[in-house]
Structure 1
Amino acid sequence: GETDAEDLQLEQDLMADPKELAEHLMLVDLGRNDLGRIAEIGSVELTERMVVERYSHVMHIVSNVVCDIRQEFDAIDVLKATFPAGTVSGAPKIRAMEIIDELEPVKRGVYSGAVGYLGWNGNMDTAIAIRTSVIKDGMLNIQVGAGIVADSQPEMEWEETLNKGRATFRAVAMAAGGFRQLS
């Protein structure tokens, strides 16, 4: 929002929106299911539930799903169990990925994949590559998305993608202008 009061109202609207809540719960369930494949029995839990995080152009509802990994699994097993992430594929995951493959005219590339590292010591840290910018053959491609559920309204989802992309467009404009401050 433009003011603190408007920001607070937008947060309240977000947390009262049945579509946004349904979408978030679907994503949490996907995360829990994915982790359940490699977790010690009974160890999958939410350490944060429906916290609003603010970014430059959007707000997100965030939950944190954690588990203890069964001893027979390593970082590669965790990666295999959790990617592609349900947050960018949808549910049911396998069928959603088939539909994405059928409908999207261009492969996603790094978008919705993972960026991170695998250490020799078995540690791993990755982040889902969302709101990506890739320059290929002299063309800048910016990729963003929105979560679609039964209650989604196409116009609102389109607006969400525009809002998410604005920060990237601004960064590109700043870089092209020598990083001088944009109004």
Structure 2
Amino acid sequence: MCGFVGFAGEDGTLDHGATVRAMADAIAHRGPDDAGYFTDGRAALGFRRLAIIDLEGARQPLRNEDDSLVLVFNGEIYNYRELRSALIRAGHRFSTDGDGEVVLHGFEQWGPAVLDRLRGMFALALYRPADGELFLARDAFGIKPLYYAEIGRRMIVCPMLV
């Protein structure tokens, strides 16, 4: 099932590590196999994983080669092998066999237009540390729901609450 949580636009009043871990602990039932975290002082992302593809690898949050993008992703991309081949031909290097990394490198290659190429069910949060930009998306049918809230200057991201 998997799930991710996070926040961006932080004003400096929270302990990022402790807060994102507490948020991820609250959804531990969505992903009992693994947990991963990212914090940088402006944002924090947490991930709970139910391992299905690339059982030993594909830990999240995922980062691209130069750490300019960070991704948490829940879902399944049915055409990820085809997209992966195209991205390898374009010069991208992969460190996992998971479908989430295709989303990450696809965003590098095509920007938000990667969404038009993805066939599957998904929700994602992609963070750009250099400028603090948080990009949120889900599949067009909403199979994988994505909830967010703006609270003051803070953006809170969470999966389905049950």
Task: Provide the TM-score with structure 2 as the length reference.
Answer: 0.32
The structure, 1 or 2, with the larger RCO (C-alpha pairs under 8 Å, 6+ apart) is 2
Greater C-alpha Rg = 1
How high is the TM-score relative to the length of structure 1?
0.29
